Chain A
Amino acid sequence: MLLLGESGSGKSTLLSLICGTILPSAGQVHVAGTDIATLSGGKRDRFRAEQIGVIFQQFNLLPFGTVTDNILLPLRFAPERRKRAGDAKVTALALCTSLGLPDDVVSAKASSLSVGQQQRVAVARALIGQPPLIIADEPTSALDATSQTAFLELLFQQIADSASSLLMVSHDPRLGDRFDRVVRMEDIARIERAAA
């Protein structure tokens, strides 16, 4: 699903609501059938770790950690995802390979990678342990046009392989025809206003 909206239209706030790092002042947020507002803070964080893989616009990685450290980080907070990942290091390496990253990159420091490589590591991190939902917040905005296309190809392919759902946020309507569903922030806002 693609969520389209201009900057300042509330996309990031919506993502934070879905991830449970902020709570709605009214109403309910259901993620994978769970009303996350009813969970305690700690449970919400655990829920996020287990259910959601997150890809930011840029600066996705801990610059001082190795690529492996970065990919394995979410498993540290999600025991069930860790179980699903099997031998986490092997899985991480396999993900890197299928994302077109050279083998020796896994032991490199994240800060030594190019932006494109960093974004692919971020995808590997989001995908490891197959969380049902992947949230990507304008993951291509730091890439040039050619890299964007290549990156999206890889992303879609991997999502298809792991049977996860993708919720991607963008301000670029041209991406729309590649998604099953496209939702515009204006439409959500209109529904909201109509309900009020």
Chain B
Amino acid sequence: MILRLAIASLLARALTVGMTILAIALSVALFLGVEKVRTGAKASFADTISGTDLIVGARSGSVQLLLYSVFRIGNATNNVTWESYLDIAARPDVDWIVPISLGDSHRQFRVMGTTQGFFEHYRYRQGRPLEMSDGVVMDDLFDTVIGADVAKTLGYSVGDPIIVAHGLASFTEHKDQPFRVSGILEKTGTPVDRTVIVSMQAIEAIHVDWQSGAQIPGQSTPVEAIRQMDLEPKAVTAALVGVKSPLQTFALQRAINEYPEEPLLAILPGVALQELWGIVGIAETALLAVSVMVVVTALIGMMATIFSSLNERRREMAIFRAMGARPEVILGLLVLEAVLMAAVGTLLGLALLYVGLTIAQPIVDAAFGLWVPIDTPSMREILTLLAVIGASALVSLVPALRAYRISLADGMMVRT
């Protein structure tokens, strides 16, 4: 009966109560949304590369190697010689090895030289392979496959010519050897989207007339002549390695790190990704803190609403008192109302979240390559919702205690 009266009382004040519930719902939806995006971003980040056991590069730092080999951020301080690459490839525990050669660019996008193996072995988001949205994997020496962002930003389609620039922010172009777009990759949400992929031989080919980073003046080997040349690479920037058995990963890592001919570094992508997330993760914590503050604001708003309703409800409290209700009942009634509002608010917030996710999921995936999973609320989320309801009870104690004192002083007679 008290519960029914509390609900009836809330319904009688539908407008203000509705606004309060809406504020709580929005804040809860925001909080859970941020939480979803946060975990989604973390998972997406960790999913940038999967299926690769080791990344090998010249000796530097593990985060740096990860940044330039996977995220195409920054530069390699050194290369790995082709001989070392062949040495590692020949080891019995190596299942497959894919070379990566970086250093050139096309407009704002990096150019990466690699082999067919990259398309076979590169995996993202729990083992998904790369797929072509249009065209085929490069076949000719001067063929290129471009990522989805490259195609979209520059408006390229299959068959378009591309001229690769030397270096990263350079006006010197490899004009003499234009490429042709042979294929465009599906959107992956990884740095592959922003990469122009050519063959290892192509990287060698465009540098035939170059020496120490500059074009040899007056020299221009015709394309036909280049095609006849032996284009074996002299060095690679990094290599992705898959081992035959996961048990061999650490042994191979040690062997590469102790490689006597050349200082090399092998990293476990998962570990390095976590190290990197540790740096990026500070922003994540800040985001979380902001959304917690939004929830707190909504709860304080509710407290203000209850406070402002107290005066007009003194008559109501006097009736309860005259009927023999103890002041504790008045206190309990107000806390009950707050808990009801918060419960409806959080449930509405949860509904809002799922509606929002359903609408936003494909958009966010297409725009940012961020996959936010839609699944049943996790234990952590349920606990969060319960905490919001608990906090509302706690917050409502402040106006409820005031009501307690008012009703104790007023008794049955309202003094106005």
B-binding residues in A (CB < 8 A): 12, 15-16, 19, 21-22, 41-42, 45-46, 48-50, 54, 56, 59-66, 69, 72-74, 76-78, 111, 125
Contacts and interface: CB of A to CB of B under 8 A. Distances in A.
Contact of B412 (A16, A50, A76): A16
B321 interface: yes
A45 B326 contact: yes
A61 to B, nearest CB: 7
Contact of A64 (B11, B315, B326, B411): B11
Given A60-B319, A62-B316, A76-B1, A49 B324 contact: yes
A67 to B, nearest CB: 12
Interface in B320-343: 320-329
A60 B9 CA distance: 15
B105 to A, nearest CB: 70
A42 B413 CA distance: 18
Nearest to B322: A54
Given A64-B8, A64-B12, A76-B1, A54 B323 contact: yes
B75 to A, nearest CB: 71
A12 B11 CA distance: 33
Contacts of B327: 41, 45
A26 B319 CA distance: 27
Max chain A C-beta neighbours (<10 A), residue from B4, B316, B323, B324: B324
B4 A77 contact: no
A64 B323 contact: no
B326 A42 contact: yes
A64 B9 CA distance: 6
Given A48-B322, A77-B324, 13 more contacts: A12-B413, A16-B412, A21-B411, A21-B413, A46-B324, A49-B325, A62-B8, A62-B9, A63-B12, A64-B11, A69-B1, A77-B326, A125-B323
Nearest to A47: B324
Contacts of B1: 69, 72-73, 76
Contact of A69 (B5, B12, B316): B5
A50 B328 CA distance: 18
Given A41-B326, A69-B1, A76-B2, A21 B12 contact: no
B15 to A, nearest CB: 14
Contacts, number: 80
Nearest to A59: B315
A22 to B, nearest CB: 6
A22 B327 CA distance: 13
A56 B321 CA distance: 12
A50 B324 contact: yes
B306 to A, nearest CB: 16
Contacts of B4: 69
A78 B324 contact: yes
A15 B412 contact: yes
A159 B348 CA distance: 50
B191 to A, nearest CB: 60
Contacts of B315: 59
Contact of A16 (B5, B12, B413): B413
29 contacts: A12-B413, A15-B412, A16-B413, A19-B412, A21-B411, A21-B412, A21-B413, A22-B411, A41-B327, A42-B326, A42-B328, A45-B324, A45-B326, A48-B324, A49-B325, A50-B324, A54-B322, A54-B323, A56-B322, A62-B9, A64-B9, A65-B8, A69-B5, A73-B5, A74-B323, A76-B323, A77-B325, A77-B329, A111-B12
B322 A69 contact: no
B204 to A, nearest CB: 83
Contacts of A46: 324, 326
Nearest to A50: B324
Contacts of A22: 411
Nearest to B2: A76
A12 to B, nearest CB: 5
Contacts of A62: 5, 8-9, 316, 319
Nearest to A13: B413
B185 to A, nearest CB: 63
A45 B8 contact: no
A46 B12 CA distance: 28
Contact of B322 (A12, A19, A65): A19
B128 to A, nearest CB: 57
Interface in B183-212: none
A49 B322 CA distance: 8
Interface in B361-416: 411-413
Shortest beta-carbon contacts, A-B, top 6: A49-B324, A21-B411, A64-B12, A77-B324, A54-B322, A74-B323
